[in-house]
Amino acid sequence: MVAYADVGIELKPEFLKAVYFILKEQAGVRPGERVLILSDSKTPQHVTVAFRGVAMQLGASAFDLKVPSAPHPAYQPAFEWDPLTIAAASQADVIIDMAVGYAVFLAKLAAQGKRVIMPGDATGAPHIEDSLVRCLLLEDQHALRDEGMAIKRIMDAGSVLEIKSQAGTDYRVDISDLTANVFSGFMFDAAGVQVSNYEITPGSMPGFWLPKGRGDGVMAMDGLLLYDNVHELPKSPILFEIVKGRIVNVSGDPYLSVRLADWLKRLDDEAAYNGPVHANIGLSRMARLTEHLEFERVRGAMTFGFGDSSILSDAYGYDPATTSKSGVHWDAQILSGSLSIDGKAISVDGIVQSCNPTSE
């Protein structure tokens, strides 16, 4: 089963250090800015209070808005947010999102220059506190950013991304015209220059948003599967047959493969089969396989998104014609794969290989 992180009802003093790091080091909150904290009923009150208090300490005008709980992350693309939430967010300089996640209005606001950062990937569940303390304070985030940048440089110079695994993965995709992302959590580089308006923390998870219709092969998913209203770990790999960036067959694990195939069929949404629409490799040694979206950062694990990618065309400036528009965005994971770019190994059997940031 998926491992659960520590859940407590009292504020951990270490959490204040994590919040300060997010607001000061990653989001770059400055005196006089307006900071809006978005949360919902799943977010512990002391978590939102901590973000608001630290933002005030940094000289910002801080506000918090508790919004209606969104559906499971897989259904986020089709969810319509109340105009009040959108109006409030449009007045902020910095948006701390622990409730909304994958939404058109946040992507558009980022494209307009608002800074949107998602602690815990925008799921403010009760274990967000433990996850952020563990992942942000127990390992060097600047070193992770540097490692992610080194991997990005390898990816940007490459033409073919290839993934293999002993479980049966054999997948290739053309990346010759693509630019990789790092998703380090940092909106400013080491020199203080702003490099991003849209970030997820903790990081890093370098990889690509992939144009629809691209990528072929077999993917043996042996890691966490996020779909419908569940997070599941298969007892045996789930096999996806991919033809031109689209799932044409699901087999493998006798429990999950039939349930996933049935869910996709019931959606009556042909674009839900599109993918992978993103491919990323986690770098965090502290991340765990929990229902918190930290699972995407587990070191050496590769996470692949399916279904919608259209929402982020605004945030990242992608051509909408190359994105997939669906009512769902769901994820599957390979834990023990080998990732290479033009034959250069990034990971072998789930172990990230050394990428010296100073030599790439």
pLDDT for position 124: 56
This prediction has a pTM of: 0.94
Backbone angles phi, psi at 82, to 5 degrees: -65, 140
Tally of residues, the chain: 360
Q: Is 354 helix (H, G, I), strand (E, B) or coil?
A: coil
Say if residue 3's pLDDT is above 70.
Answer: no
Q: How many helices (H) and strands (E) does the chain have?
A: 8, 19
Backbone angles phi, psi at 319, to 5 degrees: -65, 120
Per-domain residue ranges for the chain?
13-137, 141-352
* Residue range 13-137, CATH number: 3.40.50
Tokens linked to 353 = 């290989």
The string of pLDDT tens digits covering residues 110-157 is 999 999 999 976 565 667 888 899 999 999 999 999 999 999 999 999
pLDDT band at 63 (very low <50, low <70, confident <90, very high): very high
Say if residue 7's pLDDT is above 80.
Answer: no
The string of pLDDT tens digits covering residues 183-207 is 999 999 988 999 999 999 998 999 9
**What separation in angstroms does the CA of 48 have from each of 23, 104, 196, 290?**
13, 23, 24, 21
